[in-house]
Structure 1
Amino acid sequence: MIDGVQTKTLRVIPDERGRLMEILRCDDQIFKKFGQVYMTTNYPGVVKAWHYHKIQTDNVCCLSGMIKVALYDAREHSPTHGETNEFFIGEHNPMLVTIPPGVYHGWKCISEKESIVVSVPTEAYNYERPDEYRLPPDTPEIPYDWVLRQGLRHG
């Protein structure tokens, strides 16, 4: 796993009234600081990538649908420099992914319905000087292909 990336398996608690799922608590080992909470969606097949931050840590959770989260460690002095990670998260695999500064990240909606993603970054968005550095999804600088690959066959 890329140095500094953390995951937290989320527990869904159902009862006769509905479901509850804690995403991030201030007493979690994974928690650093609160900046803001926002929601974003992706239509099926849409890729939102690549970007990284110099200051903020991102905490990403998919509440509805499924997304493929891809990470690339571009930090020159990192022990995992050049590594990629991939996580499939959403309603069939509830998980929080924590992404440290300097790690490029993005995701693709892999479900047949729109995905709903909640992000809890450690910093509030600065409209005058955004801490956001972007590359296009198909950049040759990152060795990753967003094409959905056929999975393993069972049986």
Structure 2
Amino acid sequence: MSFEFQSLEIPDVLLVRMERYKDARGFFQETFRETPFMDAGIQERFVQENFVCSMQGVLRGLHYQLPPQAQGKLVGVASGEIFDVAVDLRFGGPTFGKAVARRLDATSGELVWIPPGFAHGYLVLSDRADVVYKVTAEYSPELERGIRWDDPALGIDWPVIDPIMSDKDRDQPVLELADNPFQV
């Protein structure tokens, strides 16, 4: 099985494509194998996997965790379609405060690798979406942080006007006021 890694608009955020083997029964696809990821420069170890089911119009994010529990994420969609966003929080770098967005769906089977030092969020575009993601640090509620999904400084062109969100996500600060220790 082969894995292909392609840099997106922010070079450290990678689109991951894998071969699918199809027959009359359906298909088989690997979603992770350590050696190809290490060969692509992804040395982090995954320690937790999450499965999230959300309905159309739900926006989750933009989330991140502070060190020492900063999380890298490998994000995929098991069913449905999402608008997936990563924001570079690494102050002093050429892409600080920039966002990269990508539609992900179950049909393509593509994944996105988002390294530590980024905020992450997504909007459900289909009637329902099942999102699966691996992380490089366990969830730590006391270190969880976020930034506003609609911070004008980020310039994210979300395909929604009034998303369904948790109060916690809706009340996050803009990037300029966020608790952000990440630096290049």
TM-score normalised to structure 2 length: 0.70
Paired AA for residue 124 in structure 2 = C
Question: Displacement, 1:133?
Answer: 1.0
Root-mean-square deviation (CA, aligned residues, Å) is 2.1
Equivalent pairs counted in the alignment come to 146
Q: Which has the higher helix share?
A: 2
Unaligned runs of 5+ in 2: 1-8, 161-184
Contact 2:57 2:123 in 1 (8 A): yes
1:135 to 137, 147, 152: 147
Residues 1-155 of structure 1 aligned to structure 2 (within 5 Å): 1-29=9-37, 30=42, 32-54=44-66, 55-111=70-126, 113-126=127-140, 129-148=141-160
Unaligned runs of 5+ in 1: 149-155
Q: Per the alignment, in what secondary structure is the counterpart of residue 136 of structure 2?
A: coil
> How many angstroms apart in 2 are the aligned matches of 1:98 and 1:53?
16
Question: Displacement, 1:107?
Answer: 0.5
Contact 2:47 2:135 in 1 (8 A): yes
Alpha carbons of structure 1 residues 9 and 130: separation in structure 2 relative to 1, 3 Å? farther
Question: Displacement, 1:28?
Answer: 2.1
Alpha carbons of structure 1 residues 31 and 14: separation in structure 2 relative to 1, 3 Å? farther
TM-score normalised to structure 1 length: 0.82
